[in-house]
Every structure is written in C-alpha cells, then in structure tokens.
Amino acid sequence: MTHQVPIDSIDRGIMRQLQVDGRTSYADLAAEVGLSAPAVRQRMQRLMDTGLLQVVAVTDPLKLGLPVMAMVGIEVDGDIRAVADAVGAIDEVIYVVLTSGSFDLFAEVVCADMDQLFGVVNDRLKQVEGVCGTESFVYFDIHTHRFNWGVPE
C-alpha cells in the first residue's frame, strides 16, 4: 500500500510549473516559488526519491509509427499483482491498472499494426498464468491526454 508524501505549497508550486513545462530550469522554478536554484534542485530530488514526481519525455505513439492502440480488460484467476507484474513486463504494454468490476486489470497496449496487437493479446497476454479472459477495446483516436491535472491542496 502506498502512503501519502507530505508536501507544502512550495512543492506544489514546483510540480504545477513542471506540469506546464517539464523543461523549466531550476533557476526559473526558483524565481516562481521564491527559493534558490540549489534549494529547488534539492526539493525536486526529494520529490523524485519519494516517487511522487517523475520528469519524463512524453511521446506520441502515432508519430512513432505505433498507430494501433487498445485498452485490454483482463480477468484474473489467482494473484492479481503477480499477473499485473507479468503483463507489465510485455514491451507493448505501456501501463497496467488494477481495478474492480468486470475486469481485474486494464492494460494499455501500443502496436505498429493489427497483427502485432493480435500477437500481443493472443500469444502473450492470454498465455500469462492466471489470465482467464481478455476483452480488447481498440482506440480510434486519443481525444484528451493531459498531464496537468493539478496538484491537490
């Protein structure tokens, strides 16, 4: 189980600015939150060390030649976390969530073509021990994709 990481208004200001532009320099962040650049670097390092913050490059699968995307609902018989670990190890799976309802897991998959998607689902996902069913929801388009959903007070 994860625990909440304590943050203050300065941490929130740093995270908000990074959600707008992840390339913002320490100096610019410092001016924004009223600290020195080394102090901002130290705070960012703490936020990253706790796992609260990641600064990553977000890529567009379509522009990378991966136009086939799907959300795959997965029914599990057995240890859900072990199955999630195995599913998450598949290269084409970009994230896995544990859920409730008709499916135990959802996995987002990106592929170059429908043949590759079929192979991922049929030859790899369905072969994971504990997977007892899947249903694929192929995307037509990504309508909304945001990373600036906010930082709670």
Tell whether 79 and 133 lie within a shared domain.
yes
Distance CA 111, CA 124 (A): 13
Identify the sign of the CA torsion 84, 116, 138, 148: positive
Residue ranges making up the domain that contains 23 = 9-49
Q: 81 pLDDT exceeds 70?
A: yes
Residue 76: phi and psi, rounded to 5, are: -125, 140
pLDDT score recorded for residue 2: 63
Q: Does any domain span residue 4?
A: no
pTM given for the model: 0.79
Tell whether 131 and 72 lie within a shared domain.
yes
Q: Does any domain span residue 85?
A: yes
| Range of lowest pLDDT (7-21, 27-41, 91-105, 135-149) | 135-149
